Amino acid sequence: MGLVATPAADRWHQRPTALLGGLAIVLATLVGVGIWTAVSASEGRSGWVPVASLQAAAVVVCALFMFAVGLVDDVVKLRPHVKFILQTLAGVGLVSAGATFALTPWYVVNVVATVFWFVALTNAFNLLDNMDGVAAGVGAIAAFFLGVTFAHQGAWWHTALAWSLAGAVLAFLRYNFQPATIFMGDAGSLFIGSVLAGLVVTSPASVSGSLVSVLFVPLAIVAVPVADTALVTVTRTLAARSISQGGRDHSTHRLVALGLHERQVALLLYAFAALGGCVGLALVRLDLALGLVLGTAFFAAMSVLAAYLGRLKVGHPDAAAGSKAVTVLVTELLYKRRLAEMLLDVLLVTGAYYGAYRLKFEGGAPPAYMQAFESTVGVVIALKISAFGLLGVYRGAWRYTGLEDLYRILGAILLSSAALFAYVRLMVPVLAASNIPYIDLLLTAAFVLTSRLSFRSLEMARSLLHRKGERILIYGAGDAGELALRELFNNADLSLQPVCFLDDDRRKHGARIHGVPVVGGLESLALVVERYDVRRILIGTKKLTRDARLALQAYAACHGLELFELELGVRPVPGNGSRPDAASVGSEPTQGPALHPLVRVAANAS
């Protein structure tokens, strides 16, 4: 019938693939929950059937309506604004049946939040369906963990629907995992998102639960599609691109850019989805305050990961729509004023301060201390954020965080902690007599330093994934050798994979530099070349003796190895106020591409 997804510039798949897999998911889900409902009713288990039958029917009807919208979109391609209007109507229909989030005392705000949740989660799964098996696997995991939380609440019909959906999607995943033979299409992704959104809104926790159970638990369980949607929305807004336009800039495509294969990307996102589900289950069993801390920490970690993925370069099939006023405003706030970093630090500082109380009093702080917490938390945030600003913490780039930045952060924390000690001694005697400020100092340092080093850690993981190409040995494990190693890791265009160091200093033998071992000296050259299957050697030192150089050249010539030499230098640019005959600083003038001065082929012995 021609109902296939054809390859396109803004799509990932490379061959025509059948659509309408969503039809199988819908039928299997309805059969599962229908049988469960019929059996429960026939056995007279009135407590196991949905009490608010109107809301239960609304969940099914709205999900089927979204399935129909997706089916039409798969066949005739609806315009994005038409789909958005229909999704909003489905959310309004759910609210009309009495399903609303009890987030605030104001009904209108709750209605808007409910409709926004329905539309956002439905679109999140629709956007996540951009690579084989990703949306199906994440949807099955999210449905399973939501079913567990519903069972904990005694909402058995909700559990049955969630687990029926999980079983249906899991069976479909057999045919959708890479390489996929069928896609679920918009019909399937919109159905999955709308079922999960409707179940969360109509669960008992949405009416009588705390903020953690109402919002944090479901958000943790569906963190993967929500984070992907937020990432796409922010990056496309900053690039002045249409949010509704397809593209290869999702979290899945950025993970591929890190060096993962499609199956590895799917499995990694499954792991993140399972982690979010475990966090959601943990939040159910924690008290409100500790749940807020854990939930905030989890979402902060997801935000840091999304921010790292957002800076990766990916291709866009469509051109930017041009600068907009809102884009300029957001860019100013996020990149120049560092508002995002400041907001994250506010969360980290608050979490560290509250964590100090929880570590001091395991069963919960006495009322006097909680009153002290409430009266001083604002002062703590103001002192620490101000100290960060005064000492230039917000001027550094996370990707290049070094010792100077770490010292700057530690100095700001010590300065703000000293001011806090003085304040509590004068104004809050109950805290002055405890060790809470000292615990807060340690936790703040741990949280802030971890966040700043997160990009360096992710860069290290990325370099491990990109260790491909010709295997190369670096001779010289000093500062120049370490610089050469970092360039080989960062510059994938060189297609060189460093496997080990050689150095004549025996004190360095057995050590590791950025994970690469120092395995011996010149006397170990033959053994190391054979053991590590090395085809190239890079001289990464300027202190090499003449005899050692001749030995390396002779060995390379006899065994057909390519010999490279580290070359660093500073030379004046002609025509820029410098003397034409000015000598280079640090090296002799050389020929070769100006953009790649790291390595050059040394003359092999002939």
Same domain as 348, residue 302:
no
Question: Would residue 171 count as lying in a domain?
Answer: yes
Same structural domain, 413 and 543: no
- Are 276 and 343 members of one domain? no
Which residues face 471 on adjacent strands?
497
Burial label, 2 (beta-carbon count in 10 A; 0-12, 13-18, 19+): exposed
Residue 295 belongs to a domain: yes
DSSP codes of every residue in 345-411: HHHHHHHHHHHHHHHH-TT---HHHHHHHHHHHHHHHHHHHHHHHHTTGGGS-GGG--HHHHHHHHH
Amino acid found at 281: L
Do 38 and 139 lie in one domain? The reply is yes
> Which residues in 493-503 are b (16+ Cβ under 10 Å) and which e?
ebebbbbbbbb
**Distance (Å, whole) CA 83 – CA 595:** 48
Domains held by the chain: number: 3
Q: Which of 336, 354, 382 is the last residue of a domain?
A: 336
Mean pLDDT of all residues in 499-517: 86
Print burial letters for 205-231: b (CB count within 10 Å at least 16), e (below 16): bbeebbebbbbbbbbbbbbbbbbbbbb
From CA 128, how far away is CA 121, in angstroms rounded? 10
Query: With 80 as the cut, is the pLDDT of residue 531 above it?
Result: yes
Distance CA 71, CA 374 (A): 52
The answer on 214 and 227 residing in a single domain is yes
Is residue 368 located within the same domain as residue 379? Answer: yes
Q: What value does the mean pLDDT take over residues 145-163?
A: 90
Q: Please report, for the domain that includes residue 565, its CATH number.
A: 3.40.50.720
Q: Do 152 and 269 have their domain in common? A: yes
Q: What pLDDT score was predicted for residue 96? A: 86
Q: Are 345 and 384 in contact (CB under 8 A)?
A: yes
Evaluate whether residue 479 is within a structural domain: yes
Q: Which of 297, 295, 304, 282 is nearest to 230 (CA)?
A: 304
Is there a domain that residue 508 lies in? yes
Contact partners, residue 490, CB within 8 Å, separation at least 6: 463
CA–CA dist 297, 344 (Å, integer)? 10
Domain boundary among the residues 431, 462, 493 is at 462
**pLDDT one-digit tens code per residue, 430-440:** 887 788 888 99
Domain boundary among 277, 303, 336: 336
Question: According to the model, what pLDDT value does residue 458 have?
Answer: 66
For the chain, give the mean pLDDT.
Answer: 79
Asked if residues 164 and 28 have their Cβ atoms less than 8 Å apart, the reply is yes
Answer yes or no: do 49 and 166 share one domain.
yes
Residues 94 and 83 in one domain: yes
Lowest mean pLDDT among 9-23, 54-68, 501-515, 567-581: 567-581
* Residue 543 clears pLDDT 90, i.e. is over it: no
Task: Report the amino acid identity of residue 317.
Answer: P
Q: What per-residue confidence (pLDDT) applies to 24?
A: 93
Classify residue 288: in a domain, yes or no: yes
Residue 7, SS3 per DSSP: coil
Do 42 and 158 sit in the same domain of this protein?
yes
What pLDDT is attached to residue 415? 92
Question: Who's near 596: CB < 8 A, 6+ residues apart?
Answer: 491, 493, 494
Average pLDDT over residues 496-514: 85
H or E stretch at 500: strand 496-502
Q: Are residues 371 and 474 in the same domain?
A: no
Predicted confidence (pLDDT) per residue in 313-366, tens digit: 665 544 444 444 444 444 444 444 467 778 888 888 888 888 888 888 876 778
Average pLDDT rounded to a whole number, residues 210-229:
79
DSSP-derived pairing of the beta strands 516-517 and 512-513: antiparallel
Given this model, what pLDDT does residue 448 score? Answer: 86
Q: Tell me if residue 222 falls in helix, strand or coil.
A: coil
Tens-digit pLDDT profile for residues 558-578: 888 888 877 766 667 776 555
Q: Domain range spanning residue 532?
A: 468-601
* pLDDT value, residue 583: 47
Clarify whether residues 406 and 431 are in a common domain: yes
**Residue 434 belongs to some domain of the structure:** yes
Query: Is residue 423, in this structure, part of any structural domain at all?
Result: yes
pLDDT digits 0-9 by tens, 473-503:
888 888 888 888 877 777 766 777 888 898 8
- The span from the CA of 437 to the CA of 393, in Å, is 21
Q: Is residue 606 part of a domain?
A: no
Q: Please give the helix or strand (H or E) that residue 96 lies within, else none.
A: helix 80-96
